[in-house]
Structure 1
Amino acid sequence: MGVELSKPWFKHYPEEVPKTIEYDNRPLHDVLEDTATNYPDKVAIHFLGKELTYQEVYDSAKKFASYLQDLGLEKGDRVAIMLPNTPQSVIAYYGALLGGGIVVQTNPLYTERELEYQLKDSGAKFLVCLDILLPRATNVKDQTDVKDIIVTGIKDYLPFPKNLIYPFIQKREYNIVVKPEHGGGTHLWTKMLDEASGQYEKHDIDPLEDLALLQYTGGTTGYPKGVMLTHRNLVANTQMSSKWIFRAEYGKETVLGILPFFHVYGMTAVMNLSVMMAQKMILVPKFDVDTVLKLIDKQKPTLFPGAPTIYIGLLNHPKISNYDLSSIEACLSGSAPLPVEVQQQFEKVTGGKLVEGYGLTESSPVTHSNLIYENRRAGTIGLPWPDTDSKVFKPETLEEMPVGEVGEIAVKGPQIMKGYWNRPEETANTIKDGWLLTGDMGYMDEDGYFYVVDRKKDMIIAGGFNIYPREVEEVLYEHEAISEAVVAGIPDPYRGETVKAYIVLKDGKSLTEEELDQYCRENLAAFKVPKLYEFRKELPKTAVGKILRRKLVDEEKEKMKSEEANQS
């Protein structure tokens, strides 16, 4: 694929990992058809006691495809999926692709404001959501192009008697009871499966050009952007993943599916990789430490992709020694930097391998990773993957920086996005001569290992979630009492970073932390809500009036250092 074989990182590749791969020139959904043909009776999904085979998943996906086409789905129409990790999320994803649609992964935590923006920007015509999310979806539907909403519930795939008990649990936990009816623009998932023929029109797909996915990512200069990922992008990154974990065997692995599929990392590293390799997916709709420890002990997963906060949460459980975690063989950590002590402690507890990787939504997502079984280097993001070239550029001139010197990390490869949806200027600013500019500052050592030292962008990564200050600031500025606001990520021992808002009030106005917190919770997804608020008389600024976010972060770090010094 054009990467010079003289690149320094190749000398560290074990012989089992190829430097280049012959990629399948086919649509992503063909992977499900192949696996259902070759492993029809293999368990594809374990979900709260219910199990589905690959044949059952494929049959349901075909029904979903035919149902959407009967509703008017045409090639290229966008299908939004707003679900946690459930069987429906896998079936709807592949079913939408089978029918010729483009999937729009939508976070179930989105507020009405965020949901409306994404549906309008993507032009989605169909939405799949949980029953408890239907009121939110219905409230914004008329402001969007959405014509049909397919509604499902957790109980739809629960075994007896859990399916009868769950509605009562749902009422207790969420204080909401929704009883949607099948008709008009609302369609019940169970009725859809009963009524759909499973006969659908197969569209010609050009894997290099046709989109499989619009995955939304934020930015510091505006609203979230739809990243256009083609079938080839996703197939390539999934094939790369399968080669990297070369000891994993087709049809024999069990993977723990905690990472949400509406996040590109979980979608590739868990869902698409599992389908390609005929792995059994243990789906976890909501991360709960006790539940996950019991699942590992009972279901014996061998692969466990995750984020540092997940591993930290398990390690901090007081009764972790009561559970057998020894089935775990390999874990690839992403979404945030992996602390070395967490890596070492988790490997000691499980006996498996835990390594750090790196990627972006714009790269499907993985571009770099430490080797899992040997030649690992703590504190680095590892080596570029097969067919992936990476350089460090001087930001202003795009000159290549010498080894060991810090610049902007850039990547090139078959997993790099086609561009941003309806944003040609931002695409041109991000992809230069085929190189994706990551916005992350780092360097490469003489052995070809890459290090991230800082972010050029101001994105906050808290608990594995990407949070863009501008989005939070937009909401804060809409409050009638606020004159100025800036949001920054400050160090947090558990979440990696946490969101802090600095506020200047208008003259004569008053506002409490509690009132502001309530306001933010009404207008932002829970993971974006600031955990800390600080009211100030003024904010530090440049001569031209730009608020110095970095100065505030530096102040926080200094404050933490002095507190630690006083404690010691």
Structure 2
Amino acid sequence: MVTELTARPWLNQYPEEIPASLEYPHQTLHSYLQEGAEEEPDKVLLHFLGKTMTFKQVYEEAKRFAGQLQQMGVHKGDRVAIMLANTPQSVVSYYGILMAGGVVVQTNPLYVERELEHQMVDSGAKVIICLDLVYPKVKAVKEKTALEHVIVTHIKDYLPFPKNMIYPFIQKKNTGMKVSVDYDAGTHSFTELLKKKPAAVNPVEIDTEKDLALLQYTGGTTGAAKGVMLTHRNLVANTTQAIRWMYTMKHGEEVILCALPFFHVYGMTIGMNYAVLNRAKMVILPKFDTKQTLQAIEKQKVTIFPGAPTMYIGVINDPNVGKYDLSSIEACISGSAPLPVEVQQRFEHLTGGKLSEGFGLTEASPVTHFNLMWGKRPTGSIGLPWPDTNVMILSAETGEEAPPHEVGELLISGPQVMQGYWNRPEETAAAMQNGWLYTGDMGYMDEEGFFYIVDRKKDMIIAGGFNIYPREIEEILYEHEAVKEAVAVGIPDPYRGETVKAFVVLKDGKQVTEKELDTYCRSQLSSYKIPRMYEFRDELPKTMVGKVLRRALQEEEKERQKSG
């Protein structure tokens, strides 16, 4: 195969404001927070349910936290996990870990014990910062992992009065939980740590091109959960590319809605890191809620709203949307799932802002392509490669670069591409060859340089912006005593994009109901991975060698929906 592109037609589509190549300072992520604190100490960095914190306040707390982590024995390269919803604590923890020389391991608070244990064992994390609501899960798996310290925080800790007094009662009413934390030598209060006499932070020399900032877990291009190794330079480069792509956005003047979770690399880069590097104000929501989102946009005058299609669908279909002033919206960055044209058009009409679709993957920090905000946007296209991002469509027939409109595998190279998979040299070698990242996505480029995806990674399901890997669901189903065969597929869903359906063949003489399987899966899987439908069959369609024809089941469902 060729290792250099014969042409880059997408560069001809760039407006004059976007250069083909950018300069990426050799800076750590946390150095940008320090610069903001020194140059504009009183500028508000974040707003959280009525609470505001300036650049200086966030920096000082992150520095205090870094000192405490180093006193706990965190050294350069040690992994520290964050298991938090979007809160000020997640921002303080993230930059504090980096200041201490640690590597952030973002952990989904929805994980069940099995998933959490796998990630902690695989990463070798020494410390975890978690919400009180997930503390019981952390406590249950701690002894099976390398975790030495657990730091517990509460959402109320960063709420203004009187919300901080009322919130525990609301939390108990909504969750039915009142968590009791067993504080000891290995279990600490986040707020109490920050109240301690500041510990001096020992400066850590960081090689931004080689030293990791983040281990981000993903199913990757082959479906098995693994840690993507991203350096400071990877993340700084991708954030810089985002800033330059949205060239009308003004440094220091934007307000960005952070409803996408920071534990997802998309929300982390296009929300949190973007705000710090571009001196924007983050309006943080602990989870996406349509009413809270509408209120936040109106009251905080949000200008940038990164999201997933389900979020925009929720906004445009809210019965009270007409009561809110959404005219402050200028740019919306849609990712994680295909954006329906109707949703794009309705949202733009409603707000007067621009909603464009992009494409990326965790292995690329994550963004590689994006449609122009203020320019040509072909229907169905994922857009153009970002500056310094080379993309090749690899022909399956010739093993070389495919001509325009020929479908092949999408290959990517650029400063945002990962260093590899954590402790998985063989899988790294398979995914990264001759300087290219093999994405496993099938697509094509038109003659103008716009790219289109025609098929995703073989089996992955994207539901409501979450990546779901059927193999994990199937393995859980296979562990049930009544299940002989099982396959999970993604089927079209008007709200989530796709939803999970499981096809099940039972063992002879065994019985189980849909409700019983649902209860079983809920005990083993995060809520977004649980099949929404089950269908019992006598047999599954297979190839001559016995491989289940997943696509055949999906086509059956599509035909059924059309005729139904």
Instruction: Assess if the C-alpha contact under 8 Å between 1:219 and 1:459 holds in 2.
Output: no
Counterparts of 2:370 and 2:6, CA distance in 1: 18
Counterparts of 1:3 and 1:255, CA distance in 2: 37
Instruction: Assess if the C-alpha contact under 8 Å between 1:381 and 1:451 holds in 2.
Output: yes
Counterparts of 2:258 and 2:298, CA distance in 1: 15
The residue number in structure 2 matching 1:553 is 554
Counterparts of 1:388 and 1:167, CA distance in 2: 47
Change (3 A) 1:41 1:260: same
Q: SS in structure 1 opposite 2:518?
A: helix
Name the aligned partner's letter for residue 207 of structure 2. D
The residue number in structure 1 matching 2:259 is 258
CA-based RMSD: 1.4
Q: SS in structure 2 opposite 1:485?
A: strand
Q: SS in structure 1 opposite 2:523?
A: helix
Stretch deviating more after TM superposition (452-461 or 193-202): 193-202
Name the aligned partner's letter for residue 70 of structure 1. Q
The CA deviation string for residues 1-36 of structure 1, in whole angstroms up to 9 with x for no partner, is x99795211111111111101111121211111111
Give the TM-score, by structure 1 length: 0.97
The residue number in structure 2 matching 1:200 is 201
Q: SS in structure 1 opposite 2:312?
A: helix
Instruction: Assess if the C-alpha contact under 8 Å between 2:223 and 2:460 holds in 1.
Output: no
Shift in Å, 1:523: 0.4
Change (3 A) 1:255 1:310: same
Name the aligned partner's letter for residue 95 of structure 1. G
Stretch deviating more after TM superposition (22-31 or 268-277): 22-31
The CA deviation string for residues 8-66 of structure 1, in whole angstroms up to 9 with x for no partner, is 11111111111101111121211111111222111111001000001000000001100
Counterparts of 1:411 and 1:222, CA distance in 2: 19
Counterparts of 2:539 and 2:221, CA distance in 1: 22
Shift in Å, 1:198: 4.6
Shift in Å, 1:267: 0.3
Counterparts of 2:239 and 2:490, CA distance in 1: 31
The CA deviation string for residues 498-530 of structure 1, in whole angstroms up to 9 with x for no partner, is 000000111111111111101111100000001
Matches within 5 A, 1:8-407: 8-219=9-220, 223-395=224-396, 398-407=399-408
Name the aligned partner's letter for residue 492 of structure 1. D
What percentage of aligned pairs have identical amino acids? 61
1:413 aligns with 2:414: yes
The residue number in structure 1 matching 2:487 is 486
Shift in Å, 1:223: 3.2
1:541 aligns with 2:542: yes
Matches within 5 A, 1:510-549: 510-549=511-550
Q: SS in structure 2 opposite 1:321?
A: helix
Instruction: Assess if the C-alpha contact under 8 Å between 2:395 and 2:406 holds in 1.
Output: no
The residue number in structure 2 matching 1:566 is none
The residue number in structure 2 matching 1:446 is 447
Counterparts of 2:548 and 2:6, CA distance in 1: 46
Counterparts of 1:277 and 1:304, CA distance in 2: 15
Q: SS in structure 1 opposite 2:441?
A: strand
Instruction: Assess if the C-alpha contact under 8 Å between 1:83 and 1:130 holds in 2.
Output: yes
Instruction: Assess if the C-alpha contact under 8 Å between 2:5 and 2:401 holds in 1.
Output: no
Change (3 A) 1:8 1:94: same
Counterparts of 1:28 and 1:550, CA distance in 2: 42
Shift in Å, 1:469: 0.3
Change (3 A) 1:425 1:5: closer
Instruction: Assess if the C-alpha contact under 8 Å between 1:64 and 1:196 holds in 2.
Output: no
Counterparts of 2:174 and 2:167, CA distance in 1: 10
Runs of at least 4 residues of structure 1 off by over 6 A? 2-5
Shift in Å, 1:432: 1.2
Shift in Å, 1:181: 4.7
Instruction: Assess if the C-alpha contact under 8 Å between 2:36 and 2:279 holds in 1.
Output: yes
Name the aligned partner's letter for residue 151 of structure 1. V
Instruction: Assess if the C-alpha contact under 8 Å between 2:334 and 2:358 holds in 1.
Output: yes
Counterparts of 1:424 and 1:45, CA distance in 2: 39
Counterparts of 1:212 and 1:58, CA distance in 2: 17
Instruction: Assess if the C-alpha contact under 8 Å between 1:485 and 1:503 holds in 2.
Output: yes
Q: SS in structure 1 opposite 2:225?
A: strand
Name the aligned partner's letter for residue 487 of structure 2. V
Change (3 A) 1:3 1:51: farther
Q: SS in structure 2 opposite 1:247?
A: coil
Shift in Å, 1:182: 3.7
The CA deviation string for residues 137-170 of structure 1, in whole angstroms up to 9 with x for no partner, is 0000000000000100000000001101111111
Q: SS in structure 2 opposite 1:223?
A: coil
The CA deviation string for residues 445-497 of structure 1, in whole angstroms up to 9 with x for no partner, is 00000000112421000000000000111111111111100000011111010
Instruction: Assess if the C-alpha contact under 8 Å between 1:75 and 1:100 holds in 2.
Output: yes
Instruction: Assess if the C-alpha contact under 8 Å between 1:309 and 1:463 holds in 2.
Output: yes
Name the aligned partner's letter for residue 320 of structure 1. V
Counterparts of 2:402 and 2:16, CA distance in 1: 30
The CA deviation string for residues 259-280 of structure 1, in whole angstroms up to 9 with x for no partner, is 1000000000000000001111
Change (3 A) 1:501 1:193: same
| Structure 2 runs not aligned, ≥5 long | none
Counterparts of 2:513 and 2:161, CA distance in 1: 48
Stretch deviating more after TM superposition (440-449 or 450-459): 450-459
Shift in Å, 1:402: 1.1
Name the aligned partner's letter for residue 407 of structure 2. V
Instruction: Assess if the C-alpha contact under 8 Å between 2:123 and 2:227 holds in 1.
Output: yes
Instruction: Assess if the C-alpha contact under 8 Å between 2:76 and 2:100 holds in 1.
Output: yes
Counterparts of 1:437 and 1:196, CA distance in 2: 49
Q: SS in structure 1 opposite 2:348?
A: helix
Shift in Å, 1:397: 5.7
Counterparts of 1:42 and 1:179, CA distance in 2: 37
**Equivalences, count:** 562
Stretch deviating more after TM superposition (19-28 or 85-94): 19-28
Counterparts of 2:58 and 2:7, CA distance in 1: 44
Q: SS in structure 2 opposite 1:29?
A: helix
Instruction: Assess if the C-alpha contact under 8 Å between 1:220 and 1:470 holds in 2.
Output: no
Shift in Å, 1:220: 7.5
The CA deviation string for residues 83-128 of structure 1, in whole angstroms up to 9 with x for no partner, is 0100000110000000000000000000000000000000000000
Counterparts of 2:376 and 2:200, CA distance in 1: 50
